Homo-oligomer: A and B are copies of this chain.
Amino acid sequence: MATTTGGKLVYRLEEGSASMSQLLGGKGAGVSEMVRIGIPVPPGFVITTEACLKYYELGRKFPDGLWDSIVQSMHHLEAESGKEFGGKDNPLIVSVRSGAPISMPGMMDTVLNLGTNDVTAQGMAKLMGDERPALDAYRRFIQGFANIVLGIEKDKFESLLDQAKEKRGLKFDYELQADALQELIANFQSVVKEIAGHPVPQDPWDQLRDAVQAVFSSWNNPRATTYRQYYGISHDMGTACVVMGMVFGNLGPDSGTGVMFTRNPATGENALYGDFLVNAQGEDVVAGIRNTQSIFSLQQDAPDLYRQLEEKARSLEGHYREVQDIEFTVESGKLFILQTRTAKRTAASAVKIAVDLAREGVITQEEGIGRVVPDEIAQVLLPRFDVEAKAKALEDDTRLAQGLGASPGAATGAAAMDPNTAVAMAERGQKVILVRPETSPDDVHGIIKAQGVLTSRGGMTSHAAVVTRGLGKPCVVGCEELHVDLEARTATANGTIIKEGDFISVDGATGEVFIGSVATFSPNPAELTELNTLLGWADEVRTLKVWANADTPEQAKEARAYGAEGIGLCRTEHMFFAEERLPHIQRLLTVGTEASRLLREVEQLTATLEKAPATELERLNTLLNEAKTTLVSSEVVKAFNEELTKLEAFQTEDFYGILLAMEGLPVVIRLLDAPLHEFLPRYVDLVKEVAVLEATGASGDELEEKKRIRDVVEELIEINPMMGHRGCRVGVTMPEIYEMQVRAIVSAAAQLTKEGHAVHPEIMIPVVSHVNELHFLHDRLERVAETTRVSFNVDLSHKFGTMIEVPRAALTAGEIASVAQFFSFGSNDLTQMTFAYSRDDAEVKFLREYVEREVLPVDPFTTLDIKGVGRLMQIAVEEGRAANPGLEIGICGEHGGDPKSVAFCHSLGLNYVSASPFRVPVARLAAAQSALGQLKLAE
């Protein structure tokens, strides 16, 4: 509802201020504010929203006194500007604009060049020293007035305009000369008369009255109504109507028009930046008929104007306490500011400007923190396409295809269609992009050597996506337009064929793929002084710790350099994917089921024996001895143990490196999580190979071995591997693997302790859904840990905790916290289970469509879903802490690097978020903004 103001329906700009937007609309209040602080704006006045509401109350009639006030204000305007409304020598031309209290861009109407008629047009022409621009303004006015006030379709005029150009063999509107425009004006008026019954009125007062009514009416046009309904904006506010004198930059060499930024929007440099066009109107800039000159050049060419501009720029920036983007016009030597608004800027300049403004005392440090959108920090840090190189690529139309941006950053290199070729090419010193239908563990050595990865299949959690994100390498997945033909060694998209060795470029943030090499650029974080200053300020205010997800010592070092205060997720399975290790884990798995069954049998018999009634003892003892004999002589058990020993050596080395890199800080190591078949060749490939061998009459060892592997893989594949035999389930059914990992962790930590390093390992169990899983593993693993520690004879402690990534774990957090010393939300999986979305499938099949059509407000894998996933997290935090007040709680899903999700984690009172190394700075800033209440929660 509009405020009641005791009947005053028209305000001069001098009477308003920024705080009066309810009454004067956003635009009216904004211009008034400029006047208030002494900025020269064209003279004008505002008809209030209240006038608009009364207009509707009276059944679309002006309330008493309104017209009189308008006329009076117009006279004031004439006096102020020294111009005459409808005058033939120096006519006052005005704009009549709508302006609601809440911005509704493009929804309501505006009439420009009002006051133009046959007489004043000639006056304008004289002033401008040229008939063409004056008549063009007149032509535009008729068109606009007819459309907005009289409701005549634009087509009518556009077709006349086209005919006029055609007749004269012209291409652009501005090429029409005075005679043509005269003819057009006459034709326009005939059309108006034909449709509306009368031409556009010559009397400027008639024009004004009609235009104000049209602006009022536009408040309730269908577009505006729908818009308000959609965005939940009240229908009761009404629109104000701003009438301002139009100023002309084309009245001679001492006139002109321009746009300036108070600081450089690309670099943040504190100097005016922008363009100026002498003796021209804004539309001339758009038409591109003449080249602009830089604002900077005015320092020499028009020092007085430059001084004025500088002064107004400082004044506006100081007033709004933010860098401004300012439109201005100089009319016969007089400067008018037409509009000022917060300037859009690049990420790098946003950081510099925030730090500079704070240092200059314009804003506080805390405000400086709030001035940078956290995601922009990632942009500052990532390798990216050189702006000009990318613009050129787009201009040259070398975009090949569009996929899902799975791991951000840009890269360029020669296409390699398999990992061995990639390695060979890389070893010859070539930069390589690995191009595959999809990747598997067999590709990891190729991924490591490649600059980036491109796959035609797979989603945001596909193998390629996960591995590259871990490695911080650019990756585009799910590029469905692309067909990779491994036999022909080509990748084809939209008719373009890329041969192996051809250069391509990928942008892992946008998912774009280009043909050829697009230059990239990589900033050095240490050199980003302003960024480091800003993050230093952020660190002072935030309460949430920021840890990082890192799987290797290199990544850990990188994370530390980015400011990580711990490792929240070290994924051990990625360690198994390395080329020299994969055969061992594969052999382990092919014997594991059988070996573990035998080992379990002995264990179970031993346990049964302990509880057995006396009468059963003998029988059980016999069985136990038999089982033990089988065990000792079993080849599979021997192989199983051999591979475990080898893997333990590898893992000990891994953990030694990462714990050393994070000396003094906690490192959360997650035990094996991945479904087992991920370590093995693809089932469908094996089936195909066997079938082909058989069809071509092959026999003998090769076929038999392939069949054997196919059968092993067949036993391990699952229908829904995400919800299958993985994580702690493998830990329970095949405990030897987790025991090996714990031995490796504790050995590495104990060795480091002996060497005088302070290390803080935390052992994390994945995919827990029932407290008993944790009890079972806690008992076994803590026994192994203690034995190992004692064998090193050192003082060493570690934490034992669990992922909370299964809904049931969150729902029974109280029970689970009785065994766990820490929780880490695996929010990727928790989101998958809570929504029943398989991320790999959902992203490709329906999730994009859901977000586009607003079925979902946001992709829940990007930003935490508060109502569902967040509720489970809240239950887990509350009930976990109630059961175990010292419980350490963090999050290690990708949400840990998403600012809105960080804000939610802050609100839940988590101890830390853990993000990819390069998103650690993003999280640091987001955590600070959360602590300062600057970052709003989603939905």
Instruction: Show the binding face of A for B, using Cβ within 8 Å.
Output: 106-107, 147, 154-155, 158, 222-223, 226-227, 230, 604, 610-615, 617-618, 683-684, 687-688, 691-692, 694-696, 718-725, 729, 732-733, 767, 769-770, 772-773, 776, 805-808, 811-812, 815, 829, 832-838, 840-842, 845-846, 849-850, 853-856, 865, 867-869, 871-872
Contacts and interface: CB of A to CB of B under 8 A. Distances in A.
Contacts of A691: 688, 691-692, 695
B610 A226 contact: yes
A836 B769 contact: yes
Given A840-B720, A841-B720, A812 B867 contact: yes
Contact of A226 (B611, B770, B834, B872): B611
Contact of A773 (B610, B695, B855): B855
Contact of A695 (B613, B692, B729, B807): B692
B723 A808 contact: no
Given A687-B684, A720-B841, A836-B829, A867 B811 contact: yes
Kindly list the 8 A-B residue pairs having the minimum CB-CB distance in the complex, ordered from nearest.
Answer: A720-B838, A808-B868, A724-B841, A723-B838, A725-B845, A718-B841, A106-B613, A806-B836
Query: Would you call the interface of chain A mostly helix, strand, loop, or mixed?
Result: helix
A147 B155 CA distance: 110
Contacts of A723: 720, 722-723, 832, 836-838, 841-842
A694 B692 CA distance: 9
B695 A732 contact: no
Nearest to A683: B684
Contact of A835 (B721, B769, B834): B769
Given A158-B618, A226-B611, A719-B840, A855 B776 contact: yes
A411 B869 CA distance: 46
A811 B812 CA distance: 15
A811 B695 contact: no
Nearest to A847: B729
A859 B679 CA distance: 29
A829 B806 CA distance: 14
A842 B692 CA distance: 32
Contacts of A154: 614-615, 617-618
Copies of the polypeptide in the assembly: 2
A604 B854 CA distance: 12
A767 B836 contact: yes
A144 to B, nearest CB: 10
A223 B614 contact: yes
Nearest to A855: B772
14 contacts: A147-B614, A687-B687, A691-B692, A696-B696, A718-B838, A722-B836, A723-B837, A723-B838, A724-B842, A725-B841, A769-B837, A776-B855, A805-B836, A807-B868
A692 B158 CA distance: 63
Nearest to A459: B719
Q: Which of A226, A695, A805 has the most CB of B within 10 A?
A: A695
Given A684-B684, A720-B838, A855 B770 contact: yes
Given A684-B684, A719-B841, A776-B853, 17 more contacts: A154-B614, A226-B610, A230-B611, A688-B688, A718-B841, A719-B722, A720-B721, A720-B722, A723-B723, A723-B842, A724-B842, A724-B845, A725-B842, A732-B849, A770-B855, A808-B865, A811-B872
A865 B841 CA distance: 28
Contact of A836 (B732, B733, B833, B865): B833
Nearest to A616: B106
Contact of A846 (B222, B722, B733, B812): B733
B610 A772 contact: no
Contacts of A612: 223
A155 B807 contact: no
Contacts of A773: 855
A719 B438 CA distance: 13
B846 A834 contact: no
A850 B732 CA distance: 8
A688 B808 CA distance: 40
A763 to B, nearest CB: 19
Contacts of A227: 611
B872 A807 contact: yes
A722 B722 CA distance: 10
A696 B697 CA distance: 10
Nearest to A690: B688
B841 A811 contact: no
Contacts of A832: 723
A853 B729 CA distance: 13
A612 B230 CA distance: 13
Nearest to A857: B772
